[in-house]
Structure 1
Amino acid sequence: MLYARPRPLRAAAFTLILLGSILTTTAAPVAAVPAALADTNISQGRTATASSTENGGTPASAAVDGNTGTRWASAFADPQWLQVDLAAAATISRVVLTWEGAYARAFTVQTSANGSSWTTVHTTTAGTGGVQTLTVSGSGRYVRVYGTQRATQWGYSLWEFQVFGSYTGTPPPTTPPPSGPIVRVSEFLADCPFSHRLPDDPIVFPNLPGASHMHSFFGSRVTDAYTELADLQVGASNCNPSVDTSSYWVPTFYVDNVPVEPTITTFYYLGEGVRDDIVAQTQPLPLGLRIVAGNAKATGPNESIARWSCLHHNEAGASKDFLTCPAGSMIESYLDFPQCWNGRDLDSADHKSHMAYPVNAACPSTHPVAVPKLRQVLRYPANGNPARFRLASGAGYTMHGDFFNAWPEAEMLRRVQNCIRPVIKCGANGYP
């Protein structure tokens, strides 16, 4: 059964009745129109994200597109959430939930100033489905509905998630205007220098210090075998931008058995690799997501996705193993992480199954959620005979990378909205 929003004709009829009452009651003072009637839908067209999606045809964005023929649907599990970024602080007066047949029996509506700390403005354990109009009192930039109990065996599904209220200042445009020249590349980045070395891996060997080969860590200064998301969120980072407190790590690179760290360390977030229509629906990397790329156990180049080349010397070619770079050059490593997420899990038993690479420029049905592709580019001050080189994991084709996402949700959302979806090349600050 499809639940539609109230027909516009009914709202117009109410307005005419109210106007008639005012015009015929000339002897009494005219009462002020309730503030709620003056509030507008401030969520339509804004950036929406969700804890999961059922498939690629039910993205979070469908719940704020003003179209009751499209919907967001979650995975078939509790809990789940859908949130919208209003792009600026606002006073919230009403929330209208237009449920599909898969609705929430128990849920809360919450607001937040930063996308991380939430305040509950409505809660119920007796949800009815259909069109639920909730009068609330709150403020914030972010609003989410958080479902804790499904009413059906399916997930949660909303045709529309409407937030009504008013902005405390000038209403922001749906898409902020660029502040610099536009280059049509779907990209933002973080520059995160070398931080420290440890034989630890909090993804593959959590809580087991010394269990791994030697790793070189970038970004977060606190990463070790015991690291959890909360540690990254409050720990120091050397990234530019400083809001990126994520941790990135790779096997340590050695020259003549002496560790050598890269002097240029750039982590690009890209929309490339999928069709343009999929780029336009890219979702932010979920907070706490862990991704491992590459094959640390590769026994030959054919088992590797690593790429090695020489800075400013394209004539040297590219290889999955170390290669000879001319004097004055630097050997560089490129590694692309998978960009299709299953929409449910922040990690998996093998640390890879929850992510996948695109197939024919689209995310597979098993991993329907497109997220920015992380491209790790490391440039080492080394050249010459590659026989002098090794990784802590072995040959060059064993190059791999680990990523533990701790970007603040609001900052990741902004970059996806301003850079990835509209295909705009942005710098470390998230602007052109």
Structure 2
Amino acid sequence: MSKKDHKRSRLPNKAVAVMTALVLGAGGVAFVAANASAGNSRQDSAKTEQAGAATIACPDVGDKLRDVPAEAKPEVDKNLAQLDAQVADSYKQLSAGQWNKDTSLSELQQKRSGTIAKIDDAISQVAQPPSGLDELSACEMKATDVKPGDTGGGGQDDAVAVEGQQDGQDQAVQNQAVQDQSKKQGKGPSKADFVDITKVRPNVVKPRARAGASTGSFTSKCGVNANKHLNPDNVIVAPGVSNGAHHMHDYVGNKTTDAFSTNDSLARAGTTCSNGDQSAYYWPVLRVQNAGQGPDVNAPGGGQDANVGTILQPKTATIRFDGSAVSRVTAMPRFLRIITGDAKAFTNGTANANASWSCTGFENRQLKDKYPICPRGSDVVRTFTFQSCWDGKNIDSANHRTHVAFADRNGACGKGFKAIPQLVERITYSVPQGARIAVDSFPEQLHKPVTDHGDFVDAMSDRLMRQAVNCVNSGRRC
């Protein structure tokens, strides 16, 4: 467990911010000057209503790091988490209407500059620090596709009843509850983030297996997190930092994973996997954005970080390891860490985006940057296909990416990398028809589907890993 436990009178700026939030609903926050008032002319009011939404985009310092000495890693990790907290706090100010367009960005830059200097100092005490870190402190406003009145979801603005609400509850009361709740959330996604899966063309292409391919698979049956192992930590990216993710994670497998987990604690822990696999498998929760008052509505990673609504428990969660299309695979080292996808892809760009969205019955159509609207009787599917090439030396890297890689379009690993069993996670959800879904995210990422990601720490015993490799290489299904 974690150690953390309608008279035209002038109104104050805060009141204007609240009114703006209501106009925008769950779609976003208008970027309006701090001195706006309700007593402006009709022309000024029209400009406000036509304003798009904005978020804060900052360079991803952690992604730029390539080599951090072990001695400096705790200090570096702590300050990388601090950079994330600074952006999240600034976005909360923007969301609450407390943003000053003339000074707030410079204040954020000043904070980031000081934190980046600490990262530089920590590395320089034991090694040559990377060049150019000081150039990564400046942030900018990023326009979004959210428009006033755009409440997101599959084209429907009505509330969806959730567990605990009385059947037949007055719809107007539910709708008002959703409006009230939208003041707390923030903030995406937009209507443009959803697409009818039946209108998407098939787009899945898999490399053809060649001679020498490893065609078997190994499955760990780890359940659907029925024990509700949830926290907003990320032991890979922000070890030792409570709420390092600023969004809630679902966990299966290792029963104790949190920010303070170590290799030793993972190796001692129990597991939800029936075969004794102690690995940690985790991903951001998926929510229905409604008036559901979950236990985290006022908690870090939940409502405090603009993640609001009823958390959906997966209907199924499949953890499978596949082979290589061109060769045999070699064992993963114990405690190998892999992240697939990018939690900051909305502001970072899509270079590392990788999670896929689809619907049962339509999985030859995969979406990277859209939520699917599934037909009645079809479940939402999230798929995480992890990197399957390893550098043969490191269980992690400074940016948590360069020690592993994807195979090329033919299925081959690049020079200096060797094929390992490829983790594929397939998670399904039964979503109420017409519901607005949203994946948990950093606040400034606006719950965009492109930010979805999966995390994995291999804690299989050596014996179990050998069994997995033998199954994959021999063509068996285990």
Q: TM-score, normalised by structure 1?
A: 0.51
**Residues 1:188 and 2:222 are matched in the alignment:** no
- Structure 1 residue 390, shift from structure 2 partner: 3.2
Letter in 2 for 1:258: T
> Which is richer in strand?
1
Structure 1 equivalent of residue 382 of structure 2: 333
State how far apart, in whole Å, the 1-side matches of 2:382 and 2:318 are: 11
Please name the residue that 2:315 is paired with.
263
- 2:465 — aligned with what? 412
SS in structure 1 opposite 2:463? helix
CA distance in 1, matches of 2:427, 2:218: 17
Residue 352 of structure 2 is aligned to residue 308 of structure 1 = no
Counterpart mapping for 1:177-216 below 5 A: 185-193=215-223, 194=225, 195-212=228-245, 213-216=247-250
Output one character per residue of 1:48-98: Cα deviation in whole Å (capped at 9) or x when no partner.
xxxxxxxxxxxxxxxxxxxxxxxxxxxxxxxxxxxxxxxxxxxxxxxxxxx
Contact 2:357 2:381 (C-alpha < 8 Å) held by counterparts: yes
Deviation at 1:344, TM superposition (A): 0.7
Please give the secondary structure, in 2, of the residue aligned with 1:319: coil
Higher helix share: 2
Structure 1 SS opposite 2:372? coil
Q: Taking CA–CA contacts closer than 8 Å with sequence separation of 6 or more, which of the two structures ends up with the larger relative contact order? A: 2
- Is the 1:219–1:246 contact (alpha carbons within 8 Å) kept by the matching residues of 2? yes
The DSSP-based 3-state class of the residue aligned with 1:299 is helix
Whether the 8 Å contact between 2:279 and 2:459 is mirrored in structure 1 is yes
CA-to-aligned-CA distance 1:233-266 (integer Å, 9 cap, x gap): 111111122x101111101111112111212111
Q: Quick check: 2:355–2:384 contact (8 Å CA) kept in 1?
A: yes
1:250-301 CA distance string (max 9 Å, x none): 01111112111212111110004x31xx22xx11111110111111111289
Q: Is the 8 A contact 1:263 1:380 kept in 2?
A: yes
Determine what percentage of the aligned residue pairs are the same residue: 29
Equivalence for 2:399: 350
1:248 aligns with 2:300: no
* Bigger Cα Rg: 1
| Distance (Å, rounded) in 2 between the aligned partners of 1:383 and 1:309 | 16
Unpaired stretches in structure 1, ≥5 consecutive residues: 1-183, 427-432
Residue identity in the other structure for 1:271: G
Cα pair distance change 1:313/1:201, threshold 3 Å: same
For residue 244 of structure 1, what is the amino acid of its counterpart?
A: D
Shift of 1:185: 3.9
1:252–1:392 Cα contact (<8 Å) kept: no
**What is the correspondence of 1:378-397 to structure 2 with a 5 Å cutoff?**
378-385=427-434, 387-393=436-442, 394-397=447-450
Q: 2:383, 2:426 within 8 Å by CA — same for their partners in 1? A: yes
Pairing 1:135-154 to 2, within 5 Å after superposition: none
- 1:8-23 aligned at under 5 Å gives the runs none
8 A contact 1:323–1:386 mirrored in 2: no
Distance 1:295 1:328, change over 3 A: same
Partner of 1:425: 477
SS at match of 1:323: strand
Q: CA deviation at 1:386?
A: 6.3
- Out of 359, 365, 374, the position equivalent to 2:415 is 365
What SS does the aligned partner of 2:450 have?
A: helix
Q: Deviations over 1:351-378 (max 9, x none)?
A: 1110001123211113x22110000111
Could you tell me whether the CA contact under 8 Å between 2:340 and 2:355 is conserved in 1? Answer: no
1:288 counterpart residue number: 335
Q: Secondary structure at the match of 2:318?
A: strand
Please show how residues 112-123 of structure 1 align to structure 2 within 5 Å. Answer: none
| Cα separation, 1, equivalents of 2:411 and 2:260 | 37
Deviation at 1:210, TM superposition (A): 1.5
Structure 2 counterparts to residues 76-95 of structure 1, below 5 A? none
Q: What residue identity is the alignment partner of 1:377?
A: R
What is aligned with 1:375? Answer: 424
SS in 2 for 1:254: strand
CA displacement, residues 113-172 of structure 1 (integer Å, 9 cap, x when unaligned):
xxxxxxxxxxxxxxxxxxxxxxxxxxxxxxxxxxxxxxxxxxxxxxxxxxxxxxxxxxxx
Work out whether residues 441 and 451 of structure 2, in 8 Å CA contact, stay in contact via their aligned partners in 1.
no
TM-score w.r.t. the length of structure 2 is 0.47
* 1:381 positional shift: 1.8
Which secondary structure does the structure 2 equivalent of 1:230 belong to? helix
